[in-house]
Structure formats: C-alpha cells, structure tokens
A and B are shown apart, each in its own frame.
Chain A
Amino acid sequence: MEAKLEIILIGLNHKTASLEIRERLNGFLNQEGPTPSHLKGRFGLKEALVLTTCNRVEVLFTSEEPDRAILGLSTYWAKGLHPSTDGAFPGFYIYRNEEAVCHLFRVAASLDSMVIGEPQILGQIKEAYRLAVEHQTTGVILNRLLHKTFSVAKRIRSETGIASHAVSISFAAVELGKKIFQDLAGKKVLLIGAGEMAELAAEHLLNNKVQQIMVANRTLERAMELAKRWHGQAISLEEIPSALAETDIVISSTGAPETILFYQDVKSIMKQRKQKPLFFIDIAVPRDIDPKINEIDNVYLYDIDDLQGIVAQNIAERKQEALQAERIIREEWIKFQSWLERIEVIPTILALRKKIENIQRGEWKKAETALQGLPPEQQKAVEIMTQAIINKILHDPITFLKDQATEDQKNEKIDQIQKIFNLSEGMEVD
C-alpha cells in the first residue's frame, strides 16, 4: 500500500523570526524564480502554494511522502538563509494535517496577524492562490481547501467582532465622531497645529467625506501648505474663536506649553452655535484644551490618553472575539476533514469499478460470436442488463467504503476491499 497523502504547512512569521530573516528568505525565494512554480515536482510535493507577506513566509503543500518533503524543503530553505549550514533553521514551524489546516484558517481570518483582525491578509492569500492556480501547482485538495479558507475567513469576520472596532488612535477618533454625528459627510473640521497624528486623523476624516478642513497654525505658511493639500482653508490663530462657531470637529495638536482653549471660550461659543454638538480631539502633549470643557452639554473632548484607552479596550475585545473564532475554526476543520475522508476512498472505488468493467468487457468479447446472431435491440438489452448487474453488485461494497467511520476502520476497510477484489495492480491509474 502506498503512503497516505498529507497536508503540510511550513513557514515562519513575525513571532518566530526577525524581519531581517523574513526579508532574506523572501529574497531567496524570489531569486529561485516565480514561486510556487520552482517547487513543482521537487521534494515529493504534489500540490503547493506559497504565501509571502511582510510578516510571514509560508508554504502549504500536499505530499504522499510527507517526511521527505518536510526535510527537503526545510533544509533547502535553511540553505537559502545560511548557505554554510546544513541543519534546519529553528524558526520554522511545521504543521501537519489538522494543525496545518487550522493554521491556514487562522492566518486567513487574521487571528495570527500582528494586529488581530487587520483586513489585508485575506487579499494576500487570495493573490497567493491566484498565482498557484496560474502556475498549475494546485489540485483537488488545495483548491477545495483554499475555497474553504476564504469562506471560513468571511464567516469569522461576520460572526465575531474581531474586526469590528478601531485599533488605531486616528480610526478610534473617526469611530467616535460617528457615534456623535452619525454621518461625517458635510461636517467641518478645524485643525489647530499640525503633527503627524493630526494629519493622519484629518486624512481619515476626509476619507469619510467631511465637507471642509480649516487649518490654523502658528506659522501661516505651514497652515497654507496643509490647507492646499486638503483643498481647505488656512486661518490664523486669532481667527479660531470665530471658526469654532461653524466647525464640528476640532483636532488640536500644537506644541504650545499651555492651554489654548478655555472652558469659558467654549461655553460662550456653544450659545452662538445654538448648541450644535462640538467634538474636540486633543492629541497634543501637554494638552491644548481645558479638560473641563467635556462637562459642557453637547461638547465632547477626548485627549490622547482617552483615545489610547479606547484602542486598548478594543484590542482586548478583539482578543476576546478571537476565542469565539477558534470555535468556528474547529467546526470548519471537522467539515473539511469529513470531505478529506470521503475523497480518500475514491481511488479504491474507481479501481473497483474499473476492474469489474474490464471483466464485463472481456466476457462480452468471449461471447461476441454467439451474440452476433441477435438483433441489435436485443444486443442492447443484454448490455444494459450486464451494466445493471455491475451496478447492483458494486452498490454494497461502495456503500461499505463510503460509510462514515473512524480513521483506523477506514484504512482497514480500504484494505479489505482491495484484498477481496485483488485491486493492487489497478491502483496506479488515476
């Protein structure tokens, strides 16, 4: 009997290897020619898919000689990393069958990412799969597995909250804005001072279609530069109070050592604004805005610590949701496993059918002369009858094979059927 086919995943990621190592391995793979075609037929790999992102390099493959394939591939990679060594590189992880499939599900659902729930990884896997299909390195099992993976990732995304809440300061600010204003379209934004984070937040707000951005800065030149970039308007620091009367969101990040906006200022502006809500985001250190203004009705103030607190809370929540995702992964593995088991018996079924059909053809030939005397429709009837006999005889052994059973029983069953019908010579085909 031949060796059993296994699904194997070998790789390294941001948890097991440094960026430098990941880069080196990536470079090595690239110089070997377009992945995954350079793996075709090597080390006993049957099907293969190569996933490379900035955080991971992984090869997923099936093989009937799993040990040889693992050894071959990992020493080959280790050589690529350090041409002088001949041992395997310790940063590789090797997953087989259940572990490999679950790991793939986990990666696709972004549970294994640096930031849990980030959305890019699924697209990268799809791209890797597209490449593999293009180079014809995938077959029945990987095709099925990858499609399953995409649906698992989608299911986890929609059924758990792993991707639901913002995990960066600027996104958290936008999310808050939506909880206050519902729709940011048509809202006006005032940027006081400019810094990297303030600019990032402004970009996110623009992506959410805010109507206008005003920029106030100590040096008007810089303000004009930023305003030009966002098709906004530059104003001087003195104009801030009047700008506050018509703006909805204020992002403040000046380098000023003291408070620049006081409780009383905002209180009187709220009257002018007829109490229209005003959302302040103070990301300056030290703070620009008097924290007391959060107590004014319809005024909301978040400083950098508040936003970081939310981000931390959201990250914790994603981790919690990831536990739920693990349950889904188990479920989906069980489904995939039963499919794998079902296709395991297919070669035996095919061989069985082939053998019986060969017998029929042989017997038909022997009886040909005797049958020649019959009119065509009777010849046809005889053929239909023999075909029916074959089907009826095969029905029971095939049901016996396909019947759900444990792994041990399954192999035993395949073995029994192969012995009873003496199928060993027919197995090479297909």
Chain B
Amino acid sequence: MALFLFKGALSLYLLGSAGYILFIIFQRKNLARLSYVVLWLGFAAHSLSILLWSWQSGYLPVSNLKESLSFFAWAIIGSYLFIHLRFNILVLGSFLSPLASVLMISSSFLQAQNDIVNPLVRNLWLTIHIGTIFIGNGIFAVAFLGGIMYLIQEREIKSKHFGPFYHRLPSLEVLDSLNYNCLILGFPLLTLGILSGAVFAQYTLGTFWRWDPKEVWSLVTWLIYAVLLHGRLTTGWRGRRSAMISIVGFLVLVFSFLGGNILLKGYHSFSAFKVSAPEVQHLAPGNLRQP
C-alpha cells in the first residue's frame, strides 16, 4: 500500500511538473492552478505513504538513500505548498516541482534495502531531529530556487535587454521577500534539528557533539544561514547578495546531506543505520549507557 501511494505521488508530481513547465512556456494561469491542485494530491498521497511506512516500521523512512530522497522531495513539495499559501508565486512551481520530481525518480530507481535497522532509530528525539532538519531543508530548497530566480530576474533588469524570463518571473521585491521568509522559517527549524540531534546523541552516545563529518558540515551550513540572517536583520543585506548566499548555503547543505551520508564515514552514514555496520557495533544495545 505504501509503495502504491509512493508511485501515485510520483506520477502526480510528474504530472504537476509537466503542467508547470507548460505554464512557464505558454503562460496560461489555469495550467499553474491545475498543477497546484495536482501537487497537493501528490503531496497527500506521499504523506500517507510516509505515514504508513513509519507506522509499520516505527521510525521515519530515512534509513537509506532511497528513503531519504523521497522524504526530501516530500519536504520540498510540502514547503512549497505551504509557502504558496502566503506567496502567490505561480512560476516558483515551474522550478520546484521538477526538482522534487527528479529526487522522486532517483529514489524510485534505487534498490530498496531490507536490512535490519538499528533499534536505536525508534526514538522521539531522532524523529524530531530528522523531521525538523528535512522540513528546514525543504524550505531552504525553496530559498535556493527563489535565489536563482532572483539572479535571473536581476540580470534581465540590469542588462536592459529582456529575455523570455523577464515577463514570466515575479518582481525583485517579491523574490527578495520570499528569500527572507524562507530564512526566518528555515533557520529555526535547522537550529532545532541540530539541537534535537545533539540531545539524541547525548541520550545514546553520552555526548552532545562528536565532530562527526556530517555534524561539521551541518554546522557550516548553519553558520552560513546564521550570517545571512544576521546580515539581513542588521545591515540590510538583501537582493543579489542574499540570493547568492542562499544558493551557496543550499549547495553546502546538499553536500552535507549526500556527502555526510554516503561519502564520509561516521555514524550519520546510511551504512551506520544497520545493525551489522562496524561504525555502530559499540552502540549495540548491550553497550549502551543507560540514561
């Protein structure tokens, strides 16, 4: 059932993306409105599939790349749908839904792994850690795309020669305000995610912070967004600079997400989620420090 819902969500995302792409080409508002509804349906199916999966297994489905990509796509679509309620930027969907669809397609091609998962992952703190981090990431993905749109639009206006995007993209002020709103929503979530992760680490490993590679990269990401937020609030950083930092921040974030879980060793890597993995041998229930 969860798989069926996942496939339904994927198809609906693809349909929504197609609609949004046709919208940006032909600029028929109805196409975007329809695609928006389709995305909501896809999001509903996707949420249900994740819920079912979590219900059955007892933890959020992020124990391997396949699940994580799908969860990331869910967070991106969800962030967009909710941000859309406040910012009526139809064309954002034309950028965002293809990105989410690509993540979903990649996820669907990856092999499902049926390893026995470390029982430690069934923990409330970890659920909060993962949930907030992913939703924060979704919001930063919106900021990232908004930043790209800002740079394109700014270039059109500064170059004084309008290409096809000039009329299709919203005004600079709207894009900048989107950036700001994503930042003030995403930053607390990222902070909360890191803190809850630390609490979970304290709970299971006896230490809040271990300078695990992913922790280091997450800290870098957090610092980038912290500097940006500070700059925005105090010295009036905005526009181009803000857009660029959001783009860089998101790229670092993606690197720490993919790199931290695949390339780099450490207890955040996917292999560490399995009971047999050497990285967590010492964490087997017998070795656990009791809280």
Contact = CB atoms under 8 A, between A and B. Distances in A.
Given A297-B239, A297-B240, A277 B158 contact: no
A302 B170 CA distance: 19
Interface string B149-174: 00001000110111000110011111
A181 B171 contact: yes
Contacts of B167: 164-165
Nearest to A307: B160
A34 interface: no
B235 A181 contact: no
A181 B162 contact: no
Given A179-B153, A179-B157, A179-B166, A275 B171 contact: no
Contact of A306 (B153, B160, B171, B239): B160
A7 B161 CA distance: 46
A277 B48 CA distance: 44
A414 interface: no
A87 interface: no
B230 interface: no
Contacts of A277: 172-173, 239
Contacts of B237: 275
B241 interface: yes
A313 interface: yes
B286 interface: no
A83 to B, nearest CB: 53
A373 B158 CA distance: 98
B291 interface: no
A20 B100 CA distance: 64
Contact of B157 (A180, A183, A274, A297): A180
Interface in A167-183: 176, 178-183
Given A274-B235, A297-B239, A298-B240, A176 B157 contact: yes
A298 B160 CA distance: 14
Interface in A226-261: none
Interface residues of A, number: 23
Contacts of A183: 173
A175 to B, nearest CB: 10
Interface string B252-287: 000000000000000000000000000000000000
A294 interface: yes
Contact of A297 (B170, B174, B241): B241
A119 B167 CA distance: 20
Contacts of B166: 179
Which has the most chain B C-beta neighbours within 10 Å: A273, A275, A277, A297? A275
Interface string B231-243: 0000111111100
A178 B239 CA distance: 16
Sort chain B's interface into a size bin. Answer: 20 to 34
A273 B239 CA distance: 14
Contacts of A300: 157-158
Nearest to A313: B162
Nearest to B28: A159
A172 to B, nearest CB: 11
A302 B237 CA distance: 23
A232 B199 CA distance: 60
A176 B161 CA distance: 12
Given A275-B238, A277-B239, A300-B157, A182 B162 contact: no
A295 to B, nearest CB: 8
A154 to B, nearest CB: 16
A310 interface: yes
A123 interface: no
B158 A298 contact: no
Contacts of A302: 160
A354 interface: no
Contacts of A353: none
B249 to A, nearest CB: 18
A275 B236 contact: yes
Contacts of B162: 310, 313
Which has the most chain A C-beta neighbours within 10 Å: B171, B235, B237? B171
B158 A294 contact: yes
B119 to A, nearest CB: 52
Given A178-B171, A180-B172, A182-B171, A309 B160 contact: yes
A165 B239 CA distance: 25
A188 to B, nearest CB: 15
A98 to B, nearest CB: 29
Contacts of B172: 179-182, 277
B173 A180 contact: yes
A180 B171 contact: yes
Contacts of B160: 302, 306, 309-310
18 contacts: A179-B153, A179-B172, A180-B171, A181-B171, A182-B171, A274-B236, A275-B235, A275-B238, A275-B239, A277-B172, A277-B173, A297-B239, A297-B240, A297-B241, A298-B239, A300-B157, A302-B160, A309-B161
